[in-house]
Chains A and B, each alone.
Chain A
């Protein structure tokens, strides 16, 4: 299906809504699974989600998603109406979740501007089979429905995209319509097996080419026994199409495993035979709900109305939220940042400060208060609670437990903790890897746990809390813990050690597991063991300026702590002066600052300067030399050395003096400068309260210049 990108905003909204619906749906499923069954509320909620997805997908012409959602909806309609007792919940959940996964994958394709071309036939198949099973176990709704079910199967949904307007005149009561009618009888090769499925895919493909399609046997999709029937009697298709004889014929001739193909044009009247039974019940468009007693008959005209109403009914809470484009928020934050600076420029202006008016000073204080509040507010708008990211982990735990047949309980604490939007995007993957690792490597098997006197079910605690201007995310399991010896051994094998073993602290040893290519697991499983994954954790966290700490105790479990800054937009920085220029160093990277003695400074044969601090040698980077800054202090003993550390690389930056510590709003360098040259060691710039500009240093860029 080719998509029209003129609908871009609509597609965007569709993707956004559908993803939200899917996430909520997932949560409902997982919650109800925990509670051991669906409450009637859950069922209707799931039904509603599926219905909304179906409606909007149909509207956007994503047929495959629509069909899956539709089949899902059928199942839940049945559950809702019949309230079968003793339902196999985990089977239902598995089904729903696999549908959710399918739709997610399709949405992903749509987001990346590919066609949503996944084939849902298998899912729909299994849903139908499941529904039929349900019907057999729990009995039919009533005879009328049953007969309708039968009739409906003659009907292949009219593809909406094949000119929905042209469809109605084609379907007028006398049955005369444009296009010619054909009869095709197909005999499959003897040993091709699964004739019914092949026939089904054939019909499915045909639906795109033809306006009306009928086929015998009718219940190929539901009934595996039809395979035998087709083997004996062939598969008959009757359809009407506007395409020419040759075109259609060649379509059929391309089908594989066909032994015999009978293809002929027929009178239009012959199709009436099939038209009759379905006409009273099935509306001419694709939304066929088998139950006429459904409170709100879904026809295309009121479909949009229905899907609009549905979210409203899901609770008043959603109405209080609006979604805003992040760009607008970024702009707003820039503006507020500028406002703050302008405010201080006005009120701290020397000419203004001599004004002897009490009213003026009161007003100035008021202005200051309001701008600060405004800034806090804007910052808080960008803050998103971690809960969505946290609850996603439920699904991972569930899936893994099923696969590995382990019992693991995931406890979430502090999921209301808020973090900047940009940062959230970076921690979802690391969390997933850590939790996977914890379940796969950390938590022991049931027997092992019982033997150790632990509870049968493993426990993983996922906790978030605010500590100063950082957020700590702690992932704690009660598994077997990390084996130092094995880690060291593995590190030796893979030549990953950078330090003598004896000098390494426990934490440093544990940190080895975060290196790329490191895995202590003997065998590679579906989930982990390839040695990729944990390095994603370090990489992603570095991007947001966070750090990882690993603690572990044998048989007590492992604790991984992620320390991330609250926001990327504001950093706590140390302002320094070099000549006339001012620079800002992120305070998190600074370990200490000191004025060296002449005797501690030395020069190696390559003219690289070093300084000795407590018996250790560190390289010196003279900023004035590196950036060719005029009129700067050149005597090491008169300026100041700032020891900075990033990625375990330490370097001493030489500057004229420290100006003081301050929270600064990070701004990008102007576009013109950025496109001209990427200046190594500069992360951006910021405005100081006096209106001048300070350049923010990128320490990882700097340490790269003179690696220890």
Chain B
């Protein structure tokens, strides 16, 4: 994956420091623009049973069937109903294409290499492992996501399952 990403760097140097930032529960996150294929509004989706709660289901994007992941649930945050500002960021990571539901999409920011702090040492917590680095813009910081980890299922599933029960009742659309 790293190799693939580097190749893309070589092909398109412009994208290197570019991140698409989005808002999630008043926090700002960044996702490397090379992964992003498009940004769409929330489309009707079909629930798939027996999956973790953060996988809301699958939806049809012009004939492609793509799983939909709620980033709030993924990061153990409170579920809020989707509104007109909610967006789906479709990312392509390796063999997987996934749509990420976020509160809203802000802008594309180009970071200088010096503004990106690698591997911040944070306290242990579930969302911590998805953060690859932190980007500084003026006084603000954006947490830059590690997409590989985001899509891997190797984290503590038990933890997720416990939370599942809690969210199940709250999620009424």
Question: Measuring CB to CB, which residues of chain A are less than 8 angstroms from any residue of chain B?
Answer: 334-335, 337-339, 341-342, 580-582, 626-630, 667, 669-673, 675-677, 679-680, 682, 685, 687, 691-695
Contacts and interface: CB of A to CB of B under 8 A. Distances in A.
A581 B47 contact: yes
Given A338-B62, A582-B46, 4 more contacts: A337-B63, A669-B58, A679-B48, A693-B45
B97 A676 contact: no
A158 to B, nearest CB: 43
A626 B49 CA distance: 9
A671 B92 CA distance: 12
B138 interface: no
A629 B46 contact: no
Interface string B56-70: 001110111111000
A630 B153 CA distance: 26
B67 A673 contact: yes
A669 B55 contact: no
A630 B49 CA distance: 11
B50 interface: yes
A338 B63 contact: yes
Contacts of B96: 670-672
Nearest to A680: B50
Nearest to A339: B63
Given A671-B95, A672-B98, A694 B48 contact: no
B97 A670 contact: yes
B39 interface: no
Nearest to A694: B46
Contacts of B59: 693
Interface in B55-106: 55, 58-60, 62-67, 95-98
B65 A687 contact: yes
A685 B46 contact: yes
A679 B67 contact: no
A676 B62 CA distance: 24
A693 B60 contact: yes
Nearest to A678: B50
Q: Which of A338, A672, A676, A677 has the most CB of B within 10 A?
A: A672
B51 interface: yes
B44 interface: yes
A670 B58 contact: yes
Nearest to B59: A693
Contacts, number: 79
B40 interface: no
29 contacts: A334-B63, A337-B63, A341-B60, A342-B62, A580-B47, A581-B46, A627-B49, A629-B47, A669-B58, A670-B67, A670-B96, A670-B97, A670-B98, A673-B67, A676-B51, A676-B55, A677-B51, A679-B50, A682-B49, A685-B58, A685-B65, A687-B65, A691-B60, A692-B46, A693-B45, A693-B46, A693-B58, A693-B60, A695-B46
Contacts of B60: 341, 687, 691-693
Nearest to A340: B63
B34 interface: no
Nearest to A335: B63
A679 B168 contact: no
A431 B51 CA distance: 40
Nearest to B57: A693
A630 B62 CA distance: 27
B17 interface: no
List of 5 A-B pairs having minimum Cβ-Cβ separation, nearest first: A338-B63, A627-B49, A693-B46, A672-B96, A679-B50
B151 interface: yes
A675 B63 contact: no
B50 A677 contact: yes
Interface in B140-170: 151, 153, 168
B99 to A, nearest CB: 10
Contact of B55 (A341, A673, A680): A673
Contacts of B47: 580-581, 629
A33 B28 CA distance: 79
A630 B44 contact: no
B172 interface: yes
Contacts of B45: 693
Contact of A675 (B48, B62, B97, B153): B153
Contacts of B64: 338
Contacts of A580: 47
A629 B44 CA distance: 16
A322 B47 CA distance: 43
Nearest to A676: B153
A682 B46 CA distance: 13
Given A687-B60, A693-B58, A672 B67 contact: yes
Nearest to B96: A672
A675 B95 CA distance: 11
B58 A673 contact: yes
Contacts of A667: 65
B49 A679 contact: yes
B48 A695 contact: yes
A341 B63 CA distance: 7
A669 B95 CA distance: 13
Contact of B151 (A581, A672, A680): A672
A673 B51 CA distance: 8
A337 B47 CA distance: 22
Q: Which of A337, A341, A582, A691 has the most CB of B within 10 A?
A: A691
Nearest to B69: A672
Contacts of B50: 627, 677, 679-680
Given A582-B46, A685-B58, A679 B65 contact: no
A277 B96 CA distance: 68
A670 B65 contact: yes
A454 to B, nearest CB: 58
Q: Which of B65, B97, B98 has the most CB of A within 10 A?
A: B65
Q: Which of A337, A338, A629, A677 has the most CB of B within 10 A?
A: A677
B63 A669 contact: no
Contacts of A673: 48, 51, 55, 58, 67
Contacts of B98: 670, 672
